[in-house]
Amino acid sequence: MENVAIVGIGMTKIEAAKVAENFADMVWEAVGKALDDAGLTIDDIDNVITTSNDFWDGRTISCMAVGDASGVRNKNCSCVEGDGAFGAFYGLTRILSGSYGTTLVTAHSKGSESVSSLITNAAFDPIYERALGLDMVTAAALQANVYMDRTGVRPEDLARVSVKNHGNAVHNPNAQLPMKLSVSDVLKSEMMVDPLHKLDCSPVSDGACAMILAREDRARKAKTRPVWVKGVGFCADAYHLGDRDLAEPRSLTAAAKKAYGMAGITDPARQIDLAELYDAFTHQELMWIEGLGMAPYGKAAEDLEKGRFDIGGSLPVNASGGLLSGHPVIAAGLIRMAEAVRQLRGEAGAAQASKAKTAVAQGVNGLCGQSHCVWVLGSEK
């Protein structure tokens, strides 16, 4: 693959409710920051990918409503309906097509403006499933029970993910919920849907992220230290929950295999220095660690307890605080990539991993991780 780098990132603060900005305002802010970061202007951008969801935005073809903020006028612009990491994938392939030297990718959502339970209920099949009344949280809880039944992972193991990530968020000025918690704080928080407590679930959030990808010759014009795309993989599983084995993220393992193959990663547990994963729910961080081959199946909880995934551990996971500390859906996966970029540039402050040469970032789309996008990013070409 031709060398492509991430040369600019921009993130808004993640908040429970941004009352002063509409969704396009958030994207203006993120794009402005990404251009400043790269030392580029909108004229240096060859094409644009926006990432959005009409249901969440409450607007038909809402991608068009962030066009101005994404600088699309007189440019080729396309949209991904889904997670931002998938938007970035599309942006990368457009550069690899040879038609564009740079891509600006944007992603946004404002969870504060709708009822998340109703929006995610509408992700279920309207004929066979929707009337039952499930939503993203009840579906995730069902998955958590299946995973725990299969592996023997316990509620306190899940709680440790929450303790770690909320604690890490204390070092992230963009985080919505930095908190010093104990395992018992998590277990004592309201039982939302068995086995998930309130602190096992990511919050409803507002936020946006922008990223600039550039071909090697164009990356040289940016002022930032480039972060290189070493590998990327994208894989989906069956739509209906009952068609899948919810306890094993098959599509994540397949996506990781592709990404690792490109990046020359043969032993992810040792070769990956840090990871930013899609921890929408505590059990999912454990499942994703295992699906990415960073721990044997059912054993991520043991490594977590030993501190392996802490900021000071051998493979920090979500040193940024992750989605448990702020979850603007759609932007979430792009934010994981941007946080990995901050680490690889050595800009993560108190959350900086001691070794940050190779990182993994993950985006997820669909209920219970139907589809995964895995990025391997590197500080060296």
Partner 1 sequence: MSVDQDLSKVKPQVYPSKINVPYSWWAGDTAARFFAGLSEKRIEATRCECCNKVFAPPRKTCPECFAACQTWVDLALTGTVTGFTVARAARAAMGGRKLPAVFALVKLDGADTALLHVIGGCAPGDVRIGMRVKARFAEEPAGGILDILYFEPV
Task: List residues near partner 1 by CB under 8 A.
Answer: 19-20, 58, 115, 117-118, 120-121, 124, 126-129, 131-135, 137-138, 141-146, 149, 190-195, 238, 240-243, 246
Indicate the residue among 90 and 297 with the shorter CB distance to partner 1: 297
Residue 69 in tokens: 């903020």
d(CA 196, CA 202): 11
Indicate the residue among 204 and 210 with the shorter CB distance to partner 1: 204
Indicate the residue among 191 and 262 with the shorter CB distance to partner 1: 191
Query: DSSP class of residue 306?
Result: T
CB of 4 to partner 1, least distance (A): 33
Angle at 250 between CA 353 and CA 338, to 5 degrees: 30
Indicate the residue among 1 and 61 with the shorter CB distance to partner 1: 61
98 CB-contact burial (10 Å; exposed 0-12 / middle 13-18 / buried 19+): exposed
CB of 153 to partner 1, least distance (A): 14
Rg (Cα) of the chain, in Å, rounded? Answer: 19
d(CA 360, CA 230): 10
51 CB-contact burial (10 Å; exposed 0-12 / middle 13-18 / buried 19+): buried
CB of 25 to partner 1, least distance (A): 11
Closest C-alpha to 294, from 318, 279, 273, 278: 273
CB of 378 to partner 1, least distance (A): 36
Indicate the residue among 188 and 220 with the shorter CB distance to partner 1: 188
CB of 279 to partner 1, least distance (A): 19
